Structure 1
Amino acid sequence: MKVWKIISGLEIICFILGSIFLWFRKIDGTGAVNTLENKLISIGVLGVVLVVLLIIQGICYLLLKRD
Protein backbone atom coordinates (compact mmCIF):
# COMPACT_ATOMS: atom_id res chain seq x y z
CA MET A 1 0.00 0.00 0.00
CA LYS A 2 3.01 2.30 0.29
CA VAL A 3 3.31 2.44 -3.51
CA TRP A 4 -0.40 3.22 -3.70
CA LYS A 5 0.04 6.29 -1.48
CA ILE A 6 3.06 7.46 -3.48
CA ILE A 7 1.14 7.22 -6.76
CA SER A 8 -1.83 9.08 -5.26
CA GLY A 9 0.49 11.80 -4.01
CA LEU A 10 2.12 12.10 -7.42
CA GLU A 11 -1.29 12.46 -9.06
CA ILE A 12 -2.21 15.31 -6.71
CA ILE A 13 1.17 17.02 -7.21
CA CYS A 14 0.81 16.75 -11.00
CA PHE A 15 -2.68 18.25 -10.77
CA ILE A 16 -1.45 21.17 -8.68
CA LEU A 17 1.53 21.85 -10.94
CA GLY A 18 -0.63 21.53 -14.06
CA SER A 19 -3.18 23.94 -12.63
CA ILE A 20 -0.47 26.46 -11.77
CA PHE A 21 0.95 26.16 -15.28
CA LEU A 22 -2.47 26.61 -16.88
CA TRP A 23 -3.28 29.59 -14.67
CA PHE A 24 -0.09 31.56 -15.32
CA ARG A 25 0.43 31.03 -19.04
CA LYS A 26 -0.49 34.03 -21.18
CA ILE A 27 -1.15 32.29 -24.51
CA ASP A 28 -2.49 28.78 -25.01
CA GLY A 29 -1.31 26.20 -27.52
CA THR A 30 -3.36 27.60 -30.38
CA GLY A 31 -1.98 31.11 -29.96
CA ALA A 32 -5.13 32.56 -28.41
CA VAL A 33 -4.83 34.85 -25.42
CA ASN A 34 -6.02 33.18 -22.23
CA THR A 35 -8.95 34.86 -20.56
CA LEU A 36 -10.33 33.98 -17.14
CA GLU A 37 -12.97 31.74 -18.72
CA ASN A 38 -10.38 29.85 -20.77
CA LYS A 39 -8.20 29.33 -17.71
CA LEU A 40 -11.10 28.01 -15.64
CA ILE A 41 -12.24 25.68 -18.42
CA SER A 42 -8.71 24.32 -18.85
CA ILE A 43 -8.35 23.69 -15.12
CA GLY A 44 -11.83 22.14 -15.06
CA VAL A 45 -10.91 19.70 -17.82
CA LEU A 46 -7.74 18.80 -15.91
CA GLY A 47 -9.90 18.29 -12.81
CA VAL A 48 -12.24 15.96 -14.68
CA VAL A 49 -9.26 13.88 -15.81
CA LEU A 50 -8.05 13.72 -12.20
CA VAL A 51 -11.48 12.61 -10.97
CA VAL A 52 -11.63 9.86 -13.62
CA LEU A 53 -8.17 8.65 -12.57
CA LEU A 54 -9.17 8.66 -8.91
CA ILE A 55 -12.36 6.72 -9.67
CA ILE A 56 -10.40 4.08 -11.59
CA GLN A 57 -7.85 3.94 -8.79
CA GLY A 58 -10.62 3.57 -6.21
CA ILE A 59 -12.24 0.71 -8.13
CA CYS A 60 -8.90 -1.07 -8.38
CA TYR A 61 -8.35 -0.54 -4.66
CA LEU A 62 -11.72 -2.05 -3.81
CA LEU A 63 -11.07 -5.04 -6.07
CA LEU A 64 -7.65 -5.67 -4.55
CA LYS A 65 -8.91 -5.16 -1.00
CA ARG A 66 -11.65 -7.73 -1.54
CA ASP A 67 -9.15 -10.55 -2.12
Structure 2
Amino acid sequence: MIDKVWKTFQIIQFAFFLCVSIFLFIRAVDGHGTAQTLEVKLISFAIWGIFYLGLLAIEWLIYFIVRHFRH
Protein backbone atom coordinates (compact mmCIF):
# COMPACT_ATOMS: atom_id res chain seq x y z
CA MET A 1 0.00 0.00 0.00
CA ILE A 2 2.73 2.45 0.93
CA ASP A 3 4.59 1.77 -2.33
CA LYS A 4 1.50 2.59 -4.40
CA VAL A 5 0.92 5.84 -2.49
CA TRP A 6 4.60 6.71 -2.80
CA LYS A 7 4.63 6.19 -6.58
CA THR A 8 1.44 8.20 -6.99
CA PHE A 9 2.92 11.05 -4.95
CA GLN A 10 6.11 10.98 -7.04
CA ILE A 11 4.12 11.15 -10.27
CA ILE A 12 2.09 14.11 -9.00
CA GLN A 13 5.24 15.84 -7.81
CA PHE A 14 6.94 15.31 -11.19
CA ALA A 15 3.87 16.70 -13.00
CA PHE A 16 4.06 19.79 -10.75
CA PHE A 17 7.77 20.10 -11.56
CA LEU A 18 7.02 19.99 -15.29
CA CYS A 19 4.25 22.60 -15.00
CA VAL A 20 6.49 25.04 -13.13
CA SER A 21 9.33 24.38 -15.57
CA ILE A 22 7.09 25.18 -18.53
CA PHE A 23 5.89 28.32 -16.76
CA LEU A 24 9.51 29.43 -16.24
CA PHE A 25 10.21 29.07 -19.96
CA ILE A 26 7.07 30.73 -21.35
CA ARG A 27 6.89 33.82 -19.17
CA ALA A 28 8.15 37.03 -20.74
CA VAL A 29 8.79 38.96 -17.52
CA ASP A 30 9.30 37.83 -13.94
CA GLY A 31 7.58 39.12 -10.81
CA HIS A 32 9.83 42.18 -10.65
CA GLY A 33 9.11 43.19 -14.24
CA THR A 34 12.50 42.11 -15.54
CA ALA A 35 12.56 40.81 -19.11
CA GLN A 36 13.39 37.11 -19.28
CA THR A 37 16.23 36.39 -21.67
CA LEU A 38 17.31 32.85 -22.48
CA GLU A 39 20.19 33.13 -19.99
CA VAL A 40 17.90 34.20 -17.18
CA LYS A 41 15.42 31.46 -18.04
CA LEU A 42 18.17 28.84 -17.92
CA ILE A 43 19.44 30.16 -14.59
CA SER A 44 15.90 30.08 -13.17
CA PHE A 45 15.45 26.53 -14.45
CA ALA A 46 18.81 25.46 -12.99
CA ILE A 47 17.85 26.80 -9.56
CA TRP A 48 14.43 25.15 -9.79
CA GLY A 49 16.02 21.87 -10.92
CA ILE A 50 18.58 21.87 -8.10
CA PHE A 51 15.81 22.50 -5.58
CA TYR A 52 13.73 19.67 -7.03
CA LEU A 53 16.66 17.23 -7.08
CA GLY A 54 17.53 18.10 -3.47
CA LEU A 55 13.95 17.53 -2.40
CA LEU A 56 13.84 14.28 -4.35
CA ALA A 57 17.07 13.07 -2.73
CA ILE A 58 15.69 13.75 0.76
CA GLU A 59 12.43 11.98 -0.07
CA TRP A 60 14.19 8.90 -1.45
CA LEU A 61 16.49 8.79 1.57
CA ILE A 62 13.46 8.80 3.87
CA TYR A 63 11.75 6.20 1.67
CA PHE A 64 14.70 3.80 1.87
CA ILE A 65 15.07 4.29 5.62
CA VAL A 66 11.37 3.57 6.16
CA ARG A 67 11.53 0.48 3.91
CA HIS A 68 14.63 -0.75 5.69
CA PHE A 69 13.15 -0.53 9.18
CA ARG A 70 9.77 -1.84 8.08
CA HIS A 71 11.23 -5.18 6.93
Task: Measure the CA separation in 2 of the matches of 1:25 and 1:5.
Answer: 30
Matches within 5 A, 1:1-12: 1-12=3-14
> Sequence identity, in percent?
37
- Using the size of structure 1 for normalisation, the TM-score is 0.94
Aligned with 1:26: secondary structure?
coil
Aligned to 1:31: 33
Gaps of 5+ in 1: none
Structure 2 unmatched runs, 5+: none
Please give the root-mean-square deviation of Cα atoms over the aligned residues, in Å: 0.7
Shift in Å at residue 61 of structure 1? 1.0
User: How many equivalent residue pairs?
Assistant: 67
**Bigger relative contact order, structure 1 or 2 (CA pairs below 8 A, ≥6 apart):** 1
TM-score (norm 2): 0.89
Please tell me whether Structure 1 or Structure 2 has the larger radius of gyration of its CA atoms. Answer: 2
Moved over 2 A (4+): none
